[in-house]
Amino acid sequence: MSLTSSPEQAEAAQPSQPRGQPDLGVYPWVAMGVVVIGTFMSILDSTIINVALPQIGLDLHQPENIEWIVTAYLLALAVAQPATGWLADKFGRKRIFVWSMGLFSLGSLAAALAPNLGFLIGFRVLQGLGGGAMMPVGLAMIYELFPPDKRGGAMGIWGIAAMTGPAIGPVLGGFIGSSETTGVTTTLGRGGSDFSASLFGAAMRADAIEVWTDVDGMLTADPRVVAEAKVLEQIAFDEAAELASFGAKVLHPNTIAPAVRLGIPVYVLNSRRPEGKGTKITFEAPKRAVTAIAGKNDVTLIKVGSPRMLLTEGFLRSLFEVFERHRTSVDVVATSEVSVSLTVDDASQIDVIVSDLRRLGDVTLERNRGIVAVVGGAIAQGGHAMSTALEAMGDVRVHMLSLSATGINLTMVVDDDQVKPAMQRLHAAFFGGTS
């Protein structure tokens, strides 16, 4: 006995084929986004701190055993990852991922507030335990969330985060470059991470850039020198740059340059007192006769005198070419018809510089000098502020006096041991307090 059916019946009996892939909905992609962010932060944290180790050692006054900050994190990763599978089976993958992300975030916050090296290492262990659990659990979640034909794409997106973390970590931790003399990979040093923040903020056209440091903001003077120094609520970009160049340690002079070009306000805040208002660096800051006092020690004063300067073209160009040739930056300059006085911070090439300058004229070298700067957007408007500054100096000998081209910085070169008392006198004259 045989059974037959018509072609129409046979076609109807076969299961229908899907015309397109099933819609996964939004949830798997949102969940994968959370997993990618967690993975990125975990891997980023294993590299971002490496370039900052020397500075952390100096800040904590414990340069010994500073490498344990990295070692503790990696050991915690190694401990957490093998245990993750058992924990996920017992408590559920989603729950373990949430717990591990919370532990990682808590460890990160605690590490930022650590008072000493021991606490910092302990909190880095918390970070490592959380970060070590996030990666394997996240991979397992992606495997469950997506069907086989979608897993390749999802894993590719996860891989981008895994590769991006090690690539940008050192840059975010402190701007990476190479030494000009040896070619060895290095960092910018002081202010490197602030400069990185400014660069990224400018690239993203951010509404504001925040620099978190260990002081309440920019002050009217160095509080280690002037006990009555006050926090400035606002300060102009050019004033902040002048203060940074002449001794203010809060910001590196190059830090705010990317923000200045785009007019992005920069906030200087205290990481140990986050409730404080800090200082806002902006173009809209009020214009004051005197905003702050700065000082700098270990300056060398060079004086070059030559009758040939009189009515001679190109003399100053020849003089400054000497400093360019020996890669030495000049800070303050004052000129007359037959002489030039200038200061330098870096005296490492001073002998060869003086030797070359003697071809241009008579050279006098004065070591153990310091600089005191009175900075204010309106200091040159009228003569009251400048006369007050000179009167406040009293019997302090001034070797050189210069007003910047922008008219916001009155600079005085004094004996090195007179920088501190001069700053105290000037601060008392303009802001009150004792001198």
Residues 379 and 288: their CA atoms lie apart, in Å, by 7
Confirm whether 181 is domain-assigned.
Answer: no
Confirm whether 65 is domain-assigned.
Answer: yes
| Residue 14 pLDDT | 44
Residue 363: count other Cβ atoms within 10 Å of its Cβ. 17
Confirm whether 6 is domain-assigned.
Answer: no
SS3 call for 290: coil
| Residue 169 pLDDT | 61
Task: For residue 389, give the CATH number of its domain.
Answer: 3.30.2130.10
Confirm whether 348 is domain-assigned.
Answer: yes
Confirm whether 386 is domain-assigned.
Answer: yes
Residue 319: count other Cβ atoms within 10 Å of its Cβ. 22
Task: Give yes or no: residues 132 and 243 share one domain.
Answer: no
Task: For residue 267, give the CATH number of its domain.
Answer: 3.40.1160.10
| Residue 253 pLDDT | 67
Q: Does residue 431 register a pLDDT over 70?
A: yes
| Residue 51 pLDDT | 62
Residue with the bigger pLDDT between 83 and 291: it is 291
Task: Give yes or no: residues 299 and 272 share one domain.
Answer: no
Residue 157: band (very low, low, confident or very high) from pLDDT cuts 50, 70, 90: confident
Q: What is the mean pLDDT of residues 207-228?
A: 87
Taking only the tens place, the pLDDT of each residue in 384-411 is 889 999 999 999 999 999 888 888 899 9
Residues 94 and 31: their CA atoms lie apart, in Å, by 10
| Residue 19 pLDDT | 46
SS3 call for 303: strand
Q: Does residue 219 register a pLDDT over 50?
A: yes
Residue 174: band (very low, low, confident or very high) from pLDDT cuts 50, 70, 90: low
| Residue 388 pLDDT | 92
Residue with the bigger pLDDT between 48 and 121: it is 121
Taking only the tens place, the pLDDT of each residue in 129-156 is 988 888 888 888 888 888 888 888 888 8
| Residue 420 pLDDT | 94
Confirm whether 117 is domain-assigned.
Answer: yes
Q: Comparing 40-54, 59-73, 236-250, which segment has the lowest mean pLDDT?
A: 40-54
* Most confident stretch, 24-38, 211-225, 307-321, 346-360: 346-360
Q: What is the mean pLDDT of residues 400-424?
A: 92
| Residue after which a domain boundary falls, among 166, 198, 233 | 166
Task: Give yes or no: residues 300 and 425 share one domain.
Answer: yes
Chain CA centroid to CA 31, Å: 33
| Residue 17 pLDDT | 42
Task: For residue 77, give the CATH number of its domain.
Answer: 1.20.1250.20
The H-or-E segment that residue 400 falls in is strand 398-403
Q: Does residue 92 register a pLDDT over 90?
A: no
Residue with the bigger pLDDT between 81 and 411: it is 411
Q: What is the mean pLDDT of residues 11-21?
A: 44
Please give the order of strands across the beta sheet that includes 362-375: 330-335, 339-344, 292-305, 362-375, 409-415, 398-403
| Residue 280 pLDDT | 92
Confirm whether 12 is domain-assigned.
Answer: no
SS3 call for 279: strand
Chain CA centroid to CA 99, Å: 31
SS3 call for 339: strand
Q: Does residue 42 register a pLDDT over 90?
A: no
SS3 call for 234: strand
Taking only the tens place, the pLDDT of each residue in 260-310 is 888 889 998 887 787 888 999 988 888 889 999 999 999 999 999 887 776
Task: Give yes or no: residues 191 and 80 share one domain.
Answer: no
Residue 191: band (very low, low, confident or very high) from pLDDT cuts 50, 70, 90: low
pTM of the model: 0.61
Task: Give yes or no: residues 217 and 346 share one domain.
Answer: no
Q: Comparing 241-245, 340-344, 373-377, which segment has the lowest mean pLDDT?
A: 241-245
Give the angle 327-348-305 at the CA atoms, nearest 5°.
Answer: 75
Q: Comparing 1-5, 41-45, 186-190, 290-294, which segment has the lowest mean pLDDT?
A: 1-5
- What amino acid occupies position 358? R
Residue range(s) defining the domain that contains residue 258: 187-281
Closest Cα to residue 124, out of 40, 164, 67? 67
Task: Give yes or no: residues 350 and 275 share one domain.
Answer: no
- Check residue 219 and report its DSSP letter: B
Task: Give yes or no: residues 275 and 297 share one domain.
Answer: no
| Residue 202 pLDDT | 86
| Residue after which a domain boundary falls, among 166, 195, 222 | 166
The percentage of residues in the chain with a pLDDT greater than 70, rounded to a whole number, is 83
Q: Does residue 429 register a pLDDT over 90?
A: yes
Contacts of 241 (CB under 8 A, 6+ apart): 253, 256, 257, 260
| Residue 3 pLDDT | 44
Task: Give yes or no: residues 217 and 94 share one domain.
Answer: no
Task: Give yes or no: residues 296 and 425 share one domain.
Answer: yes
Q: Does residue 233 register a pLDDT over 60?
A: yes
Task: Give yes or no: residues 148 and 228 share one domain.
Answer: no
Q: What is the mean pLDDT of residues 78-84?
A: 85
Task: Give yes or no: residues 146 and 193 share one domain.
Answer: no
| Residue 410 pLDDT | 92
Report the number of distinct structural domains present in the chain. 3
Residues 75 and 310: their CA atoms lie apart, in Å, by 71
Task: Give yes or no: residues 266 and 322 share one domain.
Answer: no
Confirm whether 424 is domain-assigned.
Answer: yes
Q: What is the mean pLDDT of the chain?
A: 82
| Residue after which a domain boundary falls, among 281, 307, 332 | 281
Residues 31 and 51: their CA atoms lie apart, in Å, by 32
Q: What is the mean pLDDT of residues 21-29?
A: 67
